[in-house]
Structure 1
């Protein structure tokens, strides 16, 4: 649509919402144009755009004497040494392309040890120790190539997200497989967090536009119980992150054609509720200038910081934001709904009508929060329109690792906004990567190349000899 058509659609939407039927009819007649119920509507309402503008002007006036007002209240993490600098090639994989790389503590036989699990383009799963010694392998035991593989910590179970949208749970000891349908089409990413010793949440996104929250019961690993709920996005989700903050499970997600990050909370009915959308582009009152391809989080001083890797060309940008307090977000909804509720956060959430919405809509009232950007830096990581962004946080040592198309791993110091480390890992782009901190506190990076078909390990110290 042209700019004029967009403005006209916004006006028609506003008149319709206000119930001004005669004015809307006259507006259509004078323009000689009709407006469908949904087709011509935009993501943001005219009211929201004007409200955002007034909020921006208020913020500008309040901060005109201190342009770093927000930055002065939230400290960005400072890079800490040591960090990985020693690179070693692990076992070569021949002509196979690595699709997914994950690292975690996996139970093999009666022993639990840190392992690397790699899925390949030939539908293989290969398990290595941290020095690259092969421990196990599975050839074509799954119906579909695994796009994402996750390890259930200290168990023999692998969660394998297939390109057919299925979740396959593989027991590496018994080789038994249990499968569940997550998405109608390709599954593109998933994250797992435990609830307790025998239950966990799995959040996944797929080409069917859904963010799926699955509740998995591992009480009997031979008969795993599974249930799911879905939240449908307006367009295809591009990335997710999943974490626990202020004792509650939160999901953040971006989608195609928007720079807004949706923030979801898991309610006590094991469903996703969209609390708000965070703006990553306050300089323009537009949400379509770019999109986010990867997300990571940092929890520091009771603040939750979110780092978002963008699809800017020719170089990726990394935007870091601070998430408002959860009670502030819920109180906003209480005020918006005109309800007076007491109780804890989940009780308030349960009482709101948004608790019943399981898809994004053009006309919903989801709050867009601005003025939460702490930094926006050029990472010097080259990319084009086909690039897939990959980043990882450094756990307690702070900072962000960026895995680039030129085969270089870049370490970004969030506090200064500078690249503090560059590790040449591959000839050509990095296809998959994983960061891991061992029980001994060693920080390790594992990468696989798309062109050279090599897998490398990066560490701060030479590797320890393999046990056994």
Structure 2
């Protein structure tokens, strides 16, 4: 007969008494608590609970309390007028996929699908898996499988983006390729990354020119300016017009337009750096293909306890194009920041390039050093003031996780994934966890990808949340 395992708290107390040679107290405690005679002895196995001590738990609690001082939450008193809207997706509907494979990317895209007698231009659920397959599901017709394509890519697809009202699609894969597709046909493919092209983002400047940026695990971000339009007889991607070489692998990329000047800028975050980097897009008249870094914004301006992270995923607010949500690689739980983007100004760029100061002697040079220190402090204070929310989502993750954050389409909140099979909703106004979606994915499984937005379904507009994970499940979350 197997004996019941004693509570962990009792074992920790017994371990403390045994390690400090409180023999009489230990005997009395074991007798009164009904513990086995060997309670508190270390077994030497690899079980993590066997390594716990009271001192270690107290130290971890102190570190946690210290980190709480650096969290920032919004004003709950004003949350009623501008907080989390109650009609939020909460009911899961599992979609039957053609094959059983880990899902790497899920989204709802406008897709010009040529099926049957006529072409259809509608929204489809797009899912890619580790089996190199791309599947389309009809969003309005009982989630039927429209097509399941297995020969598009020679390696699993990691990212998808539709352009030109869904007439063309761009995809990146683990092999470092960028594919240009038209429905089930691959029109062009390039391999400018050495490995793992993890993300593709696009920006449609006009009816002809299209900005494309890809991030790869060869520590590069590539920028393309392609002429892809329905009028093109043979659309192609073309050679990269810009290259960004990083010290570490990129984590997230995003196109954003400066609200003051209207200039289109590329935002980049990279591993082992707490900065968001601003890059100017290459000029067509210039012969150089190097994208110029025009500024950066530190997410830990005063080097507080939050400094050990990378900005893993960035998402612009649908309400305010200068408000950015950033999912962080913090351990053991994901932390979230909402920051105001500090786009560099022309005078900032000119001052950073250096001038004629510091050439004097004696007091003049000391004054210059002081002014530089004061200027640096002013920048830090400005960056600190730009942080609107920084909070703990309590979504567990490891160094191998892929943090994801997406905004609700009305901008009232955000969704984040987790490695426990749970999706959490964060109120944008306060930074509080207000929704926990548990019944869609298997407990303890990794939710790899999430998407949120408006979807036209049965003649009405609905708010959807779509998720896919390593439990091989594709789930659509809808309002009740």
Q: Normalised by the size of structure 1, how large is the TM-score?
A: 0.70
Cα distance 1:423–1:373, how it changes in 2: closer, same or farther (>3 A)? same
Give the equivalent residue in structure 2 for 1:111. Answer: 120
Matches of residues 47-196 of structure 1 in structure 2 within 5 Å? Answer: 78-109=83-114, 110-130=119-139, 131-172=142-183, 175-196=185-206
Structure 2 partner of 1:445: 465
Task: Say if 2:403 is the partner of 1:389.
Answer: yes
Kindly indicate whether the alpha-carbon contact (under 8 Å) linking 1:81 and 1:397 is maintained by their aligned counterparts in 2: no
Change (3 A) 1:146 1:114: same
Count of residue correspondences: 362
- CA pair 165-256 structure 1, distance change in 2 beyond 3 A: same
Alpha-carbon displacement from aligned partner over 1:12-40 (angstroms, at most 9, x marks no partner)? xxxxxxxxxxxxxxxxxxxxxxxxxxxxx
Deviation at 1:101, TM superposition (A): 1.4
Which residue number in structure 2 is paired with residue 291 of structure 1? 310
User: Is 1:224 aligned to residue 236 of structure 2?
Assistant: yes
Give structure 2 stretches of 5+ with no counterpart.
Answer: 1-71, 356-378
In the TM superposition, residue 286 of structure 1 has moved relative to its aligned partner by 9.3
Query: 1:5 matched to which residue of 2?
Result: none
Contact map agreement 2:295 2:349 (CA 8 A) in 1: no
Structure 1: how far apart are the matches of 2:448 and 2:306? 29
Distance 1:77 1:273 in 2: 38
Q: 2:248 aligns with which of 224, 228, 235?
A: 235
Once residues 227 and 339 of structure 2 are traced to their aligned partners in structure 1, the CA distance between those partners, rounded to angstroms, is 34
Structure-2 separation of matches of 1:271 and 1:196? 23
Give CA deviations for 1:345-403 in whole Å, capped at 9, x if unaligned.
xxxxxxxxxxxxxxxxxxxxxx8763221221011111122211011012333321111
State the structure with more CA Rg: 2
Query: What is the distance in 2 between the residues matched to 1:460 and 1:414?
Result: 19
C-alpha distance in 1 between matches for 2:93 and 2:218: 39
Gaps of 5+ in 1: 1-67, 340-366, 462-468
Flag the 1:287–1:231 CA change in 2: closer, same or farther, 3 A.
farther
Runs of 4+ in 1 over 4 A off after TM superposition: 285-288
Contact 1:401 1:412 (C-alpha < 8 Å) held by counterparts? yes
Structure 1 CA distance for aligned equivalents of residues 421 and 294 of structure 2: 37
Residues 267 and 79 of structure 1: is their aligned pair in 2 closer, same or farther, counting only changes over 3 Å? farther
1:434 aligns with 2:434: no
Match of 2:392, SS? strand
CA distance in 1, matches of 2:153, 2:389: 43
